[in-house]
């Protein structure tokens, strides 16, 4: 058995392929999202098991509003129901649930469910589970710039450190590893600022089929990477 020695602190996941999973089975797309929830559950369990400190799941992008109204409504109601249903369970597991994105544009019932789990789990010290909902990397940078201007900073004071402080969750470290399922090899507006030096792992597995075995494959692949952050690695 191979040994896991280097573990990413923060993993981001682009959960892709729900629609294709359903189409392959002649089911409506929403059946793929429903099954995707099971993969979310398994992945959260894996993240706890392998001591990941931050897990960000790309759940709804600022571009996803282009989808049919029925699919969007289904997704929001699925999120709302599962947040309420799993709240206590997440809390018992010492998981702190957080959200990233333009929350104010979401339906009020979903916002209430988000606030409920956020408050319930706010003092927990285990896994930070972040759902990116109505999230876009460009929107996040724009929203940050607006706040910087409102706060009265002068142009000479603006630098990368300041910009980082004005992102949605400034205390969350940048992702070490970004996983995308379903064979697509794109960033799709996910954590644009924060992924400057992230490692990427792409798998053809569709999101509803993603499980602990696949999660571990990504972890083993990650530990082979030599991270240089733009510098060089000196041999001693």
Catalytic amino acids? 16, 64
Residue 33 touching ligand FPP (CB under 6 A): yes
Helix (H/G/I), strand (E/B), else coil: 33? helix
Q: Distance between CA 230 and CA 196 in Å, rounded?
A: 10
Which candidate, 14, 17, 52, 40, places its Cα nearest to that of 222?
Answer: 52
Over the window 46 to 65, marking each residue x when it contacts ligand FPP by CB under 6 A and - when it does not, the resulting string is -------------x----x-
Q: Which stretch binds ligand FPP (CB under 6 A): 1-9, 11-19, 42-50, 172-180?
A: 11-19
Q: What are phi and psi of 109, to 5 degrees?
A: -65, -35
Q: What are the structure tokens assigned to 165, written together?
A: 């402080």
Does 93 help bind ligand FPP (rule: CB under 6 A)?
no
| Minimum gap (Å) between residue 227 Cβ and ligand FPP | 28
Among residues 16, 100, 107, 35, the alpha carbon closest in space to that of 69 is found at: 107
43 binds ligand FPP (CB under 6 A): no
Judged by CB under 6 A, the stretch of 4-12, 76-84, 165-173, 190-198 that binds ligand FPP is 76-84
Which region among 13-21, 163-171, 188-196, 215-223 touches ligand FPP (by CB under 6 A)? 13-21
Q: What is the DSSP string of 4-69?
A: -----SEEEEE---HHHHHHHTT--HHHHHHHHHHHHHHHHHHHHHTT-SEEEEEEEETTGGGS-H
Q: Rule CB under 6 A: is residue 124 a binding residue for ligand FPP?
A: no
Least Å distance, CB 204 to ligand FPP, is: 12
Q: Which of 190, 178, 188, 90 is nearest to 141 (CA)?
A: 190
Contact flag: residue 18 with ligand FPP (CB under 6 A): yes
Among 13, 31, 40, 130, binds ligand FPP (CB under 6 A): 40
128-135 and 10-14 strand pairing? unpaired
Q: Determine how many CB atoms are found less than 10 A away from the CB of residue 118.
A: 16
Q: Is 136 in the site for ligand FPP (CB under 6 A)?
A: no
- Please, which residue, 22 or 177, has the CB nearer to ligand FPP? 22
Name which of 52 and 117 has its Cβ closer to ligand FPP.
117
Closest approach of ligand FPP to the CB of residue 177, in Å:
19
127 binds ligand FPP (CB under 6 A): no
Task: Let me know the angle formed at the C-alpha of 141 by 140 and 143, rounded to the nearest 5 degrees.
Answer: 65
Q: How far apart are CA 164 and CA 140, in angstroms?
A: 11
Per CB under 6 A, residues contacting ligand FPP are 15-20, 33, 36-37, 40, 59, 64, 75, 78-79, 82-83, 131, 182
């Amino acid at each position: 058995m191979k040994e896991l020695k280097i573990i990413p602190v923060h993993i981001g996941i682009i959960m892709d392929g729900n629609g294709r999973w359903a189409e392959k089975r002649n089911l409506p797309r929403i059946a793929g999202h429903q099954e995707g929830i099971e993969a979310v559950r398994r992945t959260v369990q894996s993240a706890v098991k392998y001591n990941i400190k931050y897990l960000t799941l790309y759940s709804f992008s600022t571009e996803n509003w282009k989808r049919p109204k029925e699919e969007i409504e289904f997704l929001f109601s699925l999120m709302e129901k599962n947040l309420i249903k799993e709240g206590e369970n997440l809390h018992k597991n010492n998981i702190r649930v957080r959200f990233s994105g333009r929350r104010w544009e979401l339906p009020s019932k979903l916002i209430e469910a988000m606030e409920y789990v956020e408050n319930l789990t706010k003092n927990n010290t285990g896994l930070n589970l972040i759902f990116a909902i109505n999230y876009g990397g460009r929107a996040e940078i724009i929203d940050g710039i607006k706040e910087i201007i409102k706060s009265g900073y002068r142009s000479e004071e603006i630098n990368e450190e300041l910009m980082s402080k004005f992102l949605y969750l400034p205390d969350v470290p940048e992702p070490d590893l970004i996983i995308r399922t379903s064979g697509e090899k794109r960033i799709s507006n996910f954590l644009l600022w924060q992924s400057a030096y992230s490692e990427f792992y792409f798998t053809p597995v569709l999101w509803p089929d993603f499980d602990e075995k696949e999660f571990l494959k990504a972890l083993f692949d990650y530990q082979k990477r030599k991270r240089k952050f733009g510098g060089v690695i000196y041999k001693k």
